A = this chain, B = another copy of it.
């Protein structure tokens, strides 16, 4: 019997989804599971987007162009203009979710064995896509004590080698919720220019910045040829399932290289593009309501979380995640135990153990990533369950 590839066997399981079978088993046993593990928003998709499905009149659901529907790309230029980002439709490539945009940026900018510098903890799937592309992720560590702010330039410089080709930024950050300020971005800019690197900036949570500081896109730093922005409509419009993302760059060579990969996979999803395009127009009120809802959840959730004995979370400035430290030694064991052994009033809670978001062995073992994508009353119940679980776990 032939064996799978070594790279496939070594591919890490998703720390977000690896506990999923235990959650399924718990639910099958009638237990209610509060999902704090995954960024699946519970808010509705904009009605305009849902209506677009009802309005489909085409008789054949044909391929769209490899770079996406022109009218969608045109409307996106107006969207980006609101953030001070000036683009032509030819600088936007529609991808199958932000996920594909990440992989394509890696393939187009780095050769196998080349290195990219990311901040840890980082979105775990960055590491999976890096493995897929055969590139090496070097990390500089952000710390919970420091609120996950940008590490020193010295730390970056120490990580740079002759194989370094890019810096990977997630801003607002997944999993920490940290929002990088203008001064931090200036520091990154200088480093990127000094070492002639790409800056791959994942800005899918751009709309969710809560502290009144304006969001700064990497595309406004004045280093156009260096920047590739990853984007997605998934979280912005609560339409994760439509799989529509974007890869945005002023760098023509990178654009044209990415397009060769896009042509090979023929086209991004047609129906998702129709929903995304409709979601872009007349949804200012929707966006404002989502923003207020997430902000209220954040304010409630982080305060309540910090009231649980032994638990600490910084106040995240954006996105809808936080990384919290728990009074346990091995958060993965605790998270699994919550699903397999613990019930409180017939309920339990699911979180993503954070070790899988770090590259440096041993870091984050007592941390979890939590997404506040539930209603406040459910968040409150989830935290009651968490508090009871911590007590029971530590008194086993």
Are A53 and B50 also in contact (CB < 8 A) when A5-B110, A41-B60 are?
no
A77-113, CB < 8 A from B: 96-97, 99-100, 103, 107-112
Are A97 and B265 also in contact (CB < 8 A) when A2-B198, A8-B109, A62-B40 are?
yes
A359 within 8 A of B: no
Q: Which single member of B12, B61, B100, B103 contacts A260 (CB below 8 Å)?
A: B12
A125 within 8 A of B: yes
Nearest Cβ on chain B to A162's Cβ, whole angstroms = 14
Nearest Cβ on chain B to A274's Cβ, whole angstroms = 9
A257 within 8 A of B: yes
Evaluate contact between B53 and A17: CB separation under 8 angstroms. Answer: no
A235-251, CB < 8 A from B: 238-243, 251
A134 within 8 A of B: yes
Q: Which single member of B3, B8, B114, B267 contacts A5 (CB below 8 Å)?
A: B114
Q: Which residues of B contact A253 (CB under 8 A)?
A: 3-4
A261 within 8 A of B: yes
The 19 listed contacts between A and B (C-beta, < 8 Å) are: A1-B196, A1-B251, A2-B109, A2-B165, A7-B107, A8-B258, A8-B260, A11-B260, A17-B66, A44-B59, A50-B56, A50-B61, A63-B240, A96-B269, A97-B265, A125-B266, A241-B269, A242-B269, A271-B275
7 smallest A-B Cβ distances: which pairs? A241-B270, A128-B264, A8-B257, A14-B263, A271-B271, A269-B269, A4-B257
| Chain A contact residues, CB within 8 Å of chain B | 1-9, 11-14, 16-18, 38, 40-45, 49-50, 53-54, 56, 59-64, 66, 96-97, 99-100, 103, 107-112, 114, 125, 128-129, 132, 134, 165-166, 196-198, 225-226, 238-243, 251, 253-254, 257-258, 260-261, 263-272, 275
- Known pairs A8-B108, A99-B266, A100-B265; list 9 more (Cβ under 8 Å): A7-B107, A8-B260, A17-B66, A53-B56, A60-B238, A99-B264, A128-B263, A132-B261, A271-B272
